[in-house]
């Protein structure tokens, strides 16, 4: 079956689809075949990306079920052993490439399949084997080489190449936690395209190497010496089934509706989030996703300065998503969404249960006791949880979107997994970290994320206001010294909308509709509450700082542009920093009343603790979107009163 036949087969049941549905397996395979057919002279064509090319907004907004859908796939492909990439569009209806550009200087992200190729290349290098022998390590099967994106450090011999920089650990025995045994000061540099090991950097080549710490720190159940008493059973039971309804990729729950999407780079994506009130659907977000993250480490010694990975742009959060497990990753009445991404050959790869959907009790939503009548009214709140978890090397990243019955929309990142470890002299960690186990140091670092929020609050025309609380000086208008109020200003242009959190002003930002007002005659709005702002510590002129300029403001606002998708630029691997938010906002485009995109930077500032090892408890960060005059009253006021009959008093 050629690409045209595959495309037609993929479209056979198109009437049941929505334009924003992710590519199906047959579509991914068809797109790859079509692109290969357009490059018959390329011996081995590899694929970084095959994903849905999302239709224009007007097409999506005007879509009626049953309408014909033009399906296009966006691709990034490259020839193994060569530089540059082809970026383009495939028409799955026509079975041909309809747009393509060759980008000679762009370098694709590192694919999961290449992780293994890089490790094997380093382990086979005689220089690496000799360095291990100097450390008394002879069993190659116990050695683990982790590939890291190499950044852009202007190192001789690396320019123009697509390379990986590696760090090394070992297991004490099969199945052992190798991050407990760092082989310090030994790094490999690999040309990913050719497989050539360019260098083996041994920082102890001329001196006695640091001893490999061999104390075991394991976490898998089969290696534990024993367990605490099992906690009392706590089951989540919904005897009548869940409160949500799923139709394809559409979720409906408590007035909200949203479409879930998924791609290899961003992973979980929310499309067309809205709320229906009195029979009228009101749009809130056109698209929301986590579009970039950077993890800069604070140690300048023994090649650790090269650890400043952009996990989304250099690896792909979606490609590294987990297959979630019932009763472990999610509890209760669960609906799973499978996801498909392309592998390096262009074939579709199934990620079973990539997205989890469930409800959670969230305590009381509101309560009041009238002390005069001794009457109390209370309503419990629940939230809808849409989640996905990805493993990027040593770390796990859990992306959680929450919808609440009071209209709040929240994003939470749960970071867990294993901290990146380095060797140290026992009892003598460096100033750049903490000893978490004898001879094992966890280095200070940050996780800085950027969410892209494409708003359509009660329509495509929105404005953003900055809201600061002002304390009045004592005087005639403030005779008692208690006066304070919120002062608002419109962020009218991009130059005005590169903003930082100001806790002294209790600052927040408000997205306002220009086409609708509430009962009080005020524009309907949602506010962005920055709950996890972090101050970056990498210098703006450092390699990491230049490439990740989005971290230097907590809010950026841009008018929507189709090709502005990633805050640090599209091709992050070895990027120079000349693409992304800083470059786009230099145009200083007008914002007031435009179709707006908010970019919010937030994160985690992490000096590891012994309690973070051998596996780190979840550390969280995120942000909230609160309705501010979007509703005319508390949207939970009409929740029916209900007492939970399954609750009981212990001991009675």
How far apart are the C-alpha atoms of 627 and 573, rounded to whole Å? 38
pLDDT tens digit string along 489-539? 999 999 999 999 999 999 999 999 999 999 999 999 999 999 999 999 999
Q: Can you name the residues that pair with 74 across neighbouring β-strands?
A: 51, 89
Residue 44 DSSP class = S
**Which pLDDT band, with edges at 50, 70 and 90, does 16 fall under?**
low
Cross-strand partners of 282: 275
User: Which three-class secondary structure string do you get for 588-624?
Assistant: CCECCCECEEEEEEEEEEECCCHHHCCCEEEEEEEEE
- Residues noted as catalytic: 311, 395
Cβ 332 vs Cβ 480: under 8 Å: no
Helix (H, G, I), strand (E, B) or coil at 247: strand
The string of pLDDT tens digits covering residues 534-570 is 999 999 999 999 999 999 999 999 999 999 999 999 9
Cα separation, 31 vs 47, in Å, equals 11
Tokens 């202007």 belong to residue: 154
Whether residue 3 has pLDDT greater than 60: no
Check pLDDT > 50 for residue 310. Answer: yes
Question: What is the average per-residue pLDDT within 21-42?
Answer: 98
The predicted structure's pLDDT at residue 449: 99
Q: Quote the pLDDT of residue 646.
A: 86
pLDDT of residue 17: 86
Residue 123 has pLDDT above 60, yes or no: yes
Q: What is the mean pLDDT of the chain?
A: 96
Question: Using CA atoms, how far apart are residues 348 and 330, in angstroms rounded to an integer?
Answer: 26
pLDDT at 636 over 90: yes
State the pLDDT at residue 14. Answer: 41
Burial class of residue 514, CB neighbours in 10 A (0-12, 13-18, 19+):
middle
59-88 as b/e: b if 16+ CB within 10 A: ebeebeeeeebebbbbbbbbbeeeeebbbb
Average pLDDT over residues 448-463: 99
pLDDT over 50 (residue 367): yes
CB–CB of 102/156 below 8 Å? Answer: no
Euclidean distance between CA atoms 144 and 178, whole angstroms: 7
Structure tokens at 249: 């990729």
Six-digit token string for 334: 């669960």
- Domains within the chain, CATH numbers bracketed: 3-103 (3.10.450.40), 112-223 (3.10.450.40), 245-295+307-406+444-605+617-627 (2.70.98.20)
Determine contact, residues 150/306, Cβ cutoff 8 Å.
yes
CA–CA dist 321, 267 (Å, integer): 7
Look at residue 12 in the predicted model and tell me its pLDDT. 43
Rounded Cα gap, residues 7 and 70, in angstroms? 11
According to the model, what pLDDT value does residue 651 have? 81
Cα–Cα separations (whole angstroms), residue 277 to 173, 385, 438, 630: 60, 21, 59, 11
What is the CB neighbour count within 10 angstroms for residue 322? 17
CA-nearest of 118, 175, 125, 120 to 147 is 118
* Token pair in block for residue 172: 């004490």
pLDDT at 454: 99
pLDDT for res 13? 43
């Amino acid at each position: 079956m050629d690409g045209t036949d595959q495309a037609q087969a993929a479209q056979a049941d198109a009437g049941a689809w929505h334009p924003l549905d992710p590519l199906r397996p047959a579509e991914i395979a068809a797109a790859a075949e079509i692109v290969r057919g357009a490059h018959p002279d390329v011996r081995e064509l590899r694929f970084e990306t095959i994903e849905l090319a999302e239709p224009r907004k007007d097409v999506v907004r005007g879509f009626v079920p049953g309408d014909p859908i033009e399906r296009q796939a966006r691709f990034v492909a490259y020839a193994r052993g060569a530089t540059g990439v082809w970026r383009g569009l495939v028409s799955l209806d026509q079975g041909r490439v309809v747009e393509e550009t060759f980008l000679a200087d762009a370098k694709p992200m590192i694919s999961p399949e290449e992780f293994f190729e890089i490790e094997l290349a380093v382990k086979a290098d005689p220089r690496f084997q000799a360095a291990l022998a100097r450390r008394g390590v002879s069993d190659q099967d116990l050695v683990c080489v982790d590939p890291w994106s190499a950044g852009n450090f202007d190192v001789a011999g690396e320019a123009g190449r697509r390379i990986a920089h590696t760090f090394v650990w070992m297991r004490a025995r099969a199945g052992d936690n190798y991050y407990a045994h760092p082989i310090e000061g030994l790094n490999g540099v690999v040309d990913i395209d050719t497989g050539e090991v360019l260098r083996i950097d041994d920082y102890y080549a001329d001196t006695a190497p640091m001893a490999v710490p061999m104390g075991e720190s394991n976490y898998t159940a089969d290696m534990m010496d024993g367990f605490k008493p099992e906690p009392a059973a706590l089951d989540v039971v919904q005897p009548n089934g869940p409160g949500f309804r799923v139709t394809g990729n559409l979720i409906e729950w408590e007035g909200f509706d949203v479409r879930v999407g998924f791609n290899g780079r961003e992973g979980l994506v929310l499309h067309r989030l809205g709320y229906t009130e009195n029979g009228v659907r009101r749009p809130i977000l056109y698209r929301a996703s986590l579009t970039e993250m950077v993890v800069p480490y604070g140690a300048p010694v023994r090649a650790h300065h090269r650890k400043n990975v952009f996990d989304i742009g250099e690896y792909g959060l979606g490609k590294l998503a987990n297959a979630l497990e019932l009763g472990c990753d999610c509890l209760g009445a669960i609906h799973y969404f499978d996801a498909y991404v392309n592998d390096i050959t262009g074939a579709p790869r199934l990620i079973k249960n990539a997205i989890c959907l469930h409800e959670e009790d969230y305590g009381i939503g509101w309560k009041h006791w009238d002390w005069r009548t001794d009457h109390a009214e209370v309503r419990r709140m629940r939230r809808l949880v849409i989640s996905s978890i990805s493993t990027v090397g040593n770390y796990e990243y859990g992306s959680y979107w929450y919808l609440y019955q009071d209209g709040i929309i929240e994003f939470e990142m749960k970071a867990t997994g294993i901290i990146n470890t380095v060797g140290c002299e026992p009892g003598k960690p460096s100033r750049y970290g903490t000893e978490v186990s004898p001879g094992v140091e966890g280095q200070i670092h940050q996780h800085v994320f950027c969410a892209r929020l494409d708003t359509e609050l009660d329509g495509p025309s929105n404005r953003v206001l900055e809201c600061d609380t002002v304390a009045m000086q004592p005087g005639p208008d403030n005779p008692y010294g208690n006066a304070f109020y919120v002062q608002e200003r419109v962020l009218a242009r991009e130059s005005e909308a590169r903003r930082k959190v100001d806790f002294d002003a209790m600052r927040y930002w408000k997205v306002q509709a220009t086409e609708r007002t509430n009962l009080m005659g005020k524009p309907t709005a949602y506010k962005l509450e920055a709950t996890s702002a972090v101050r970056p510590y990498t210098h703006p002129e450092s390699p990491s700082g230049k490439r990740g300029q989005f971290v230097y403001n907590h809010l950026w606002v841009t008018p929507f542009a189709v090709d502005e998708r990633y805050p640090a630029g599209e091709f992050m691997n070895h990027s120079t920093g000349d693409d992304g938010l800083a470059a786009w906002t230099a145009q200083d485009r007008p914002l007031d009343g435009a179709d707006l995109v908010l970019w919010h930077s937030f994160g985690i500032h992490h000096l590891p603790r012994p309690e973070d090892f051998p596996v780190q408890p979840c550390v969280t960060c995120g942000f909230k979107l609160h309705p501010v005059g979007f509703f005319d009253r508390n949207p939970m006021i009409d929740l029916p009163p209900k007492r939970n009959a399954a609750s009981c008093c212990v001991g009675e």
